[in-house]
Structure 1
Amino acid sequence: MKMLKNQGFSLVELMVVIAIIAILAAIGIPAYNNYVLKSHRSEATSELLSAANAADNFEIRNGTFPSGSDINSFWHTNTQNSYYTLSYCSQEAECSNVNYMLTATAAGSQSTDTPCSTIKLEVNGGIINKIPVECWN
């Protein structure tokens, strides 16, 4: 009588495979999350530049920049996927030293992007300040 050989995987082999998968997940998931945050940040900076272009076009047509804090007079208040909320101020106490300031404030899951939870674009006499600089790269 022939002895049949056991087929399949041993418990040790399965544990090794599970350990390898866990290590790959521990490396891959945070890297992916950082990539997602950075892509949403890129969307916000693009929206800020587009809104600045719209504010400049408003100024060309009307002879003055949009006043107050009504961003709706020339642009929308959310980024395409609503990861940031856009705001605008002109000739107010917090932005009296610039022509205008556009701000993108992180919302929802994007608020975990701590260094870039608030991204600003200040425009004064043709000079553009991007704050914080590291969020614009």
Structure 2
Amino acid sequence: MAPASPQGPPRLACKQPLIRAAWHFCSLTLSKRHILIHTETNVLTRRETPRVTLTSTRPRPQGPSGSTRRSAGFTLIELMIVVAVIGILAAIAYPSYTRYVQEARRTDAMSALSSVAGQLERCYTVTSDYTAASCPSGTDIPSDEGYYLIDISATASTYTLTGKPQDAQSDDSCGNFTLNHQGVRGADGADCW
């Protein structure tokens, strides 16, 4: 298209010479509008009908590839919103998950204390003494899964077992678990057994 001349009327710029055929296109630039002048030939009557169509020169939005269609990617704002939502969910879920894992690991202390208490009771049944040579004794006996260390404090007629948390379980709110010869269970925290 030819640009409008500042001295006079806009010039007519044709893409092809006007001949007697269907669909001749020619455009005239006026300000920010195009006037599309073309002729149509009716197939039945063989008559040409002039048509004038106003079209806008405003460019259509284009993506980085030059296409006028909207690209299928995500904007930075959309990605940042997704990251923020994931961060909020993680901030809520992670503490709950760690608390759940610590509660599940408490069964390691409970089973170890019960197992040692059973061994001590069998020994007492045979020897009538919790400190006999055949009875388990000692300190820092690791539990089956290794999250607790078991301490045995025994006399001839009584015992107290203590399960001390270690490593990943050391910051558990229940702390030490205890079990004595009367079957009384205890813990440093509330509602742990």
User: TM-score, with normalisation over the residues of structure 2?
Assistant: 0.58
Corresponding position of 2:72: 7
Report deviation, 1:102: 0.4
Q: For 1:25 and 1:71, locate their aligned partners in 2 and report how far apart those are by CA, in whole Å.
A: 45
The percentage of aligned residue pairs carrying the same residue is 29
Q: Which has the higher strand share?
A: 2
Give yes or no for the alignment of 1:79 onto 2:143: yes
Segments of structure 1 that go 5 or more residues without pairing to the other structure are none
Residues 67/104 of structure 1: CA separation in 2 closer, same or farther (3 Å cut): farther
Output the CA distance in 2 between the equivalents of 1:41 and 1:100.
21
Opposite residue 141 of structure 2, the aligned amino acid is: T
Q: Deviations over 1:64-98 (max 9, x none)?
A: 11359x625xxx9111121100010112xxxx9x7
Q: Who is 1:99 aligned against?
A: 158
Matched, 1:122 2:172: no
In structure 2, the gaps of 5 or more residues are 1-59, 61-66
Q: Secondary structure at the match of 1:121?
A: strand
The alignment partner of 1:77 has SS state of strand
Structure-1 residue corresponding to 2:81: 16
Higher relative contact order (CA closer than 8 Å, sequence separation 6+): 1
The structure with the greater share of residues assigned to helix is 1
SS at 1:85's partner residue?
A: strand
Instruction: Indicate the SS of the match to 1:104.
Output: strand
When normalised by structure 1's length, the TM-score is 0.79
The number of equivalent residue pairs is: 124
- 8 Å CA contact retained: 1:119, 1:131: yes
In structure 2, the partner of 1:134 is 191
Can you list the C-alpha shifts for 1:15-56, whole angstroms capped at 9, x where unaligned? 111111111111111111011111111111111011111100
